[in-house]
Each structure stands twice: as C-alpha cells, then as structure tokens.
Structure 1
C-alpha cells in the first residue's frame, strides 16, 4: 500500500538536521580524543575493553539555528557515548524537537535508545519509538519499536509493526518505508485500517 508520506514537505531537512546534530556531537568526541597520542589511546582502549566508550557526555543538548536565527533542532540525551573503533555513538533516551519553516509546531521524536553509525549516516532509534507531528491543530503519531533514518538515501524504514494514529483513524502494518523527498509512505504487509466517517 502506498500513500502520501506522513513526514511532510521539509522532512529531509529535518532528518538531515537531526543526523547532523548527532554527527557534530560525535565529532567533538573524536577531536577531543585526537590530541592524545595513538599509542596511549590504544593502551587505554585495551585496558577498558571494547564494551566501554572512548568518551561520553552527560546531559547533552544540541541546538541549531537557521540563517535567520530561527531554532531548527533541539536534541537532548542524558548520556551520549562515543565508540571510536566502530564509528558509532550511542544515545540514551534521545529526544528531539525539529522545527520547520512555516509551521509553529515542532516535530517531536523520542525513543529509549539511539545509535548513530557515522560512516553511513544512519540513525537507528530503538524502543518505544514515537514521532509526533502537529498540523493545523491535528496530531499524527507514528509508533514502532525500531526505526532507521538513512540520511544518505532520504529514507526512513522498519520491518517491525507500525501504528499510525491520526484524528480520523488508525493504520497498522508490519514494516514500512518512507521516501521523504517524494512524500511517499509504503506499508509492507498485514495492513489494517480503522477509520471514522465524517458526519
């Protein structure tokens, strides 16, 4: 089933801004670590083991503004851990507010965990993933357990069950893929809908 995308007009810029925010945070860690001689970094990594991060931030908050000074993104995480060897950053309970031009209400994105793979621009959100979009006083909510944002392809996808709740009804499916620029949402299988008729 293919329908107009839940993500709206400026979705790619929002996903790009979110990925950029997390990438900037991770880059700060890498720059901080790069002053250290390679031999001492390797020795420290061997001592702490592969499961321990190379660096972390507690109470992290990232904000970005556009050229006119309007807030575009506000991303928070109580703890962000950087793993140099795998090129990943782990985020505890990431929360983001994404603002778009012409819309007074921000997008809200939240999950229990997040993992950014720096080499391929993928952000994986895990556990109680929830995207909320307000538009003209109406709320649309997408919920799933795992959601991947692939910034390089401009796609968002999951193979897990998905629920999309809008004022007029609820749509459920197993798996979905969205192409943000094209505003297309493809629901993969076991699609069910429950809708109220307008009176």
Structure 2
C-alpha cells in the first residue's frame, strides 16, 4: 500500500518541483537591474582568460584577441584588458601583432589605447621586411586604421633601426611619419 502512494505522489512532486524551478528561473531572468546602484569605481564585469576571434564576410580570421583579464565599469563604454595581445589579419593572413601590459577599448569610438611596454609588429610580406615599433603607449583607431603615439619610440624596418619622439601610421596609405628627434641607421636592402 505504501508503494502505491509513493508511485502516485512522485510524479506530482516532480511536477511541483519543475513548476517551482521554472517560476524561480523566470523571476531571476526578468529582474530589473536598472534600479540597482552599482559602485562606479568597481568593475561591473571581470573575465579571466579571454580569447576572442572575429571573422570577415568570407569566414576568414580578421582579429584574434587574447588577454589574461578584461573588465568593465558600470555605465562605461570602455573595456579594459590586462596583458592584451591582438593579431590583425587581411584575407586570413596575419598582418599586425600588438602587445601591451594594459589596454582600454572604447566600444563607441572603436579606439584602443595600449599602455606600458607596447610593441607593434607589421609582418614581412613579399615586398616589405618586418617592421617593429616599441613604445610606452600608443593609440589605434580601428575604424580609420591609424596608429599613433606622442612618446619615444624605437623602431626597426628590416635591418634598419632608429628612434624618434612620436609617430603616426596610416595603414590605408602605408605611410609612417616620425614626428621629432629622429635618429636612424638605414641599411640599403640587397637586390632581389
């Protein structure tokens, strides 16, 4: 007799448990967080171990982003990253590599600020040798495809090396402008 009641009550108990769980999940997922006051000086989100990839219309890799940590403050368009590494591709071929200790990316302006021990490399191709810029900070406008810094930079282009204070680089034109105090050792590349 006892087993009959257990057999009849179990499905009813299971239905009530599922109903309660569904009700609770619905309440949690529809909470209005707009009235909650978050501390604007503490991150709203922190993510450890980030690896994000973006692909172009043909499905080829366009951007590869890795960071040990990212975070964002409440009501802010800026996302911060620790130890960011960004690889930029064209037609699936790696063109640029950027590394810094920290970065700040504005989701509205699409501008990324790299800070502390920043290295930007342009990969060698059939027509050009590898180029590298090392500086303490730089700004990259992902929409305009420009990079700039007002700080001291050390650079290399193939076997040529030098330094300057400040630079501007436009990817569309391929033009690098060294702003001031330029010192360079230019080595003529061998004939191919």
Alignment of 1:110-189 (within 5 A): 110-136=99-125, 138-189=129-180
SS of the residue corresponding to residue 43 of structure 2 reads coil
| 4+ residue segments displaced more than 4 Å | none
Change (3 A) 1:122 1:198: closer
User: C-alpha separation between the residues in 1 aligned to 2:125 and 2:55?
Assistant: 24
**144 and 72 in structure 1: CA distance in 2 versus 1, 3 angstrom threshold:** same
Structure 1 residues 83, 102: closer, same or farther in 2, change over 3 A?
closer
Could you tell me how far apart the structure 2 residues matched to 1:100 and 1:157 are? 21
- If asked which structure has higher relative contact order (CA below 8 Å, sep 6+), I would say 1
1: CA distance, partners of 2:61 / 2:189? 37
Please give the per-residue CA displacement for 1:70-128, whole angstroms capped at 9, x wherever unaligned.
Answer: 2222111111101133321110010122222274x442211100001233222100011
5+ long unaligned stretches in structure 2: 1-29
3-state SS, counterpart of residue 153 of structure 2? strand
CA-CA distance at 1:39 after TM superposition:
1.3
Aligned residues: 159
Give the alignment's TM-score, normalised by structure 1. Answer: 0.70
Q: C-alpha displacement at 1:157, in angstroms?
A: 1.1
Work out the CA distance in 2 between the residues paired with 1:79 and 1:198. Answer: 41
Q: Which residue of 1 aligns with 2:41?
A: 51
Change in 2 beyond 3 A, CA 1:36/1:61 = farther
Unaligned 5+ residue runs, structure 1?
Answer: 1-33
CA distance in 1, matches of 2:140, 2:107: 12
2:34 is equivalent to residue 38 of structure 1:
yes
What is the root-mean-square deviation of aligned Cα atoms in Å? 2.3
SS in 1 for 2:109: coil
